[in-house]
Amino acid sequence: MKLAFPVAHGTARTGLGELLCINNYTPLFLGTSLSLRTSPLVPYNQYRSRCDQRGYTSNATSLLKENDCTGKVNASSHAGNAPQPPTPSTSISDQVRLLMRRVPYPVAIITATDPSGPENTTSFRGMTVSSFSTVTLTPHPVISFNVRRPSETLSALLASRRFLVHLLAPGPATATLARDFSKGNVTLAAMLRGHGEFEFTTLPTENEQGHPQRPLPILKRRAEAVAANDGVDFPFVFECTLHPQKIDVHDHSIVLGTVVRAIEGSKSVSVPGQCGKVLDEHSPERLCLTYANTKFWKMGVEL
């Protein structure tokens, strides 16, 4: 490898620095063992006069003029060449976050009942997650999702050890519902007061011994809003029991659940706007709502 460095005639150089006098420099090729050719010594005041005659002053000469009295050199002139620590905008966390926005995720609404609350709908809790996935199907189906702590819904399902996972059909109403549930249980309280197109109904549940337990909240469209929608809002809902293992990673928890029942919204799904035409199992219209790049999406292009 050969390197080309500017070498000054008329000054002794013991190291590389910022350019002082451009016209006195010629390139000199060096081998991997660096050595500099020097010219006879010239007093500094004579050297400065040569540069001044040419009408050229670099940042370095300005700094030398400012510091002649003290002999100090301001290191800020070389700050641009020094490696800079990563700023928050270029941290690895932000980089991963921006890159992972390109990856579509399934959207699910998790609901649970707070067993310590009153026996009415005010004990219902819910949240939207985009990290839902299956872990294994044998010997029993196990699903997982991530929750950021603290979370009222997480506390409710940890206490009750049961919860529901709603998968959503792609549409403006379900996308709005998912966005609302991502804002916390304040939106849920508004829904319980009768606002919006959806409401909670109770799903009776039993424990492992067959004894009845507090019902779980299952979502459905309000009766007055059904006429405006002839499709299925929730293609299927999983009833789950909490898996004994839970993993805490920094400010998130990875929740595992065993699926004990699958509730399908409808075996047959009609094509919107085409009365009587039923979709087959492989139709893109059957694909659930997804989330990517801070938006909700409807899938549908086969490759």
Domain CATH number, residue 136:
2.30.110.10
Q: At 70, is the secondary structure helix, strand, or coil?
A: coil
When mean pLDDT is compared across 33-47, 178-192, 219-233, 279-293, the lowest value belongs to 33-47
**302 within domain boundaries:** no
What was the pLDDT predicted at 73? 40
Is 60 exceeded by the pLDDT of residue 253? yes
The whole-number average pLDDT for the span 189-213 is 83
When mean pLDDT is compared across 48-62, 103-117, 219-233, 234-248, the lowest value belongs to 48-62
**113 within domain boundaries:** yes
**272 within domain boundaries:** no
27 lies in the same domain as 163 = no
Strand-pair partners of 203? 216
- Phi–psi pair at 24, nearest 5 degrees: -95, 10
Rounded CA-CA distance 268/293 in Å is 31
176 lies in the same domain as 210 = yes
Cis peptide preceding 170, ω within 30 of 0: no
What was the pLDDT predicted at 231? 75
**92 within domain boundaries:** no
166 lies in the same domain as 213 = yes
Is 70 exceeded by the pLDDT of residue 53? no
Query: Of 79, 114, 135, which residue is a domain's last?
Result: 79
**7 within domain boundaries:** yes
143 lies in the same domain as 238 = yes
What was the pLDDT predicted at 191? 80
When mean pLDDT is compared across 30-44, 88-102, 111-125, 224-238, the lowest value belongs to 30-44
Tokens 């928890």 belong to residue: 253
Rounded CA-CA distance 122/185 in Å is 10
232 lies in the same domain as 293 = yes
Residue 155 one-letter amino acid: S
**What is the band of 285 on the pLDDT scale with cuts at 50, 70, 90?**
confident
The whole-number average pLDDT for the span 61-71 is 41
Whether the pTM exceeds 0.75: the reply is no
Most confident among 35-39, 164-168, 276-280 (mean pLDDT):
164-168
Of 263, 300, 296, residue with least CA distance to 282 = 300
Mean pLDDT of the chain: 75
**144 within domain boundaries:** yes
The whole-number average pLDDT for the span 237-264 is 94
**91 within domain boundaries:** no
**What is the band of 228 on the pLDDT scale with cuts at 50, 70, 90?**
low
Of 43, 54, 68, residue with least CA distance to 19 = 54
What was the pLDDT predicted at 186? 72
143 lies in the same domain as 263 = yes
**245 within domain boundaries:** yes
The whole-number average pLDDT for the span 67-79 is 43
187 lies in the same domain as 56 = no
Query: Of 21, 45, 79, which residue is a domain's last?
Result: 79
115 lies in the same domain as 34 = no
Tokens 């490898």 belong to residue: 1
Tokens 């997480």 belong to residue: 154
Percentage of the chain lying above the pLDDT 90 cut: 46
- Other beta carbons within 10 Å of 31: 9
Percentage of the chain lying above the pLDDT 70 cut: 63
Domain range enclosing 178? 97-267+277-297
139 lies in the same domain as 282 = yes
- Give, in order, the Cα–Cα distances in Å from 38 to each of 3, 21, 27, 130: 17, 15, 13, 66
Q: Sort 126 into a burial class: Cβ within 10 Å, 0-12 / 13-18 / 19+.
A: buried
134 lies in the same domain as 259 = yes
pLDDT tens digit string along 108-156? 999 999 999 888 888 999 999 999 999 999 999 999 999 999 999 999 9
176 lies in the same domain as 41 = no
Strand-pair partners of 146? 254
- Other beta carbons within 10 Å of 150: 8
The whole-number average pLDDT for the span 44-71 is 45
142 lies in the same domain as 72 = no
Query: Of 22, 49, 79, which residue is a domain's last?
Result: 79
What was the pLDDT predicted at 167? 97
**What is the band of 58 on the pLDDT scale with cuts at 50, 70, 90?**
very low
Q: Give DSSP secondary structure letters for 131-173.
A: --EEEE-SSS-EEEEEEESS-HHHHHHHHH-EEEEEE--SSHH
Q: At 210, is the secondary structure helix, strand, or coil?
A: coil
Domain count, the chain: 2
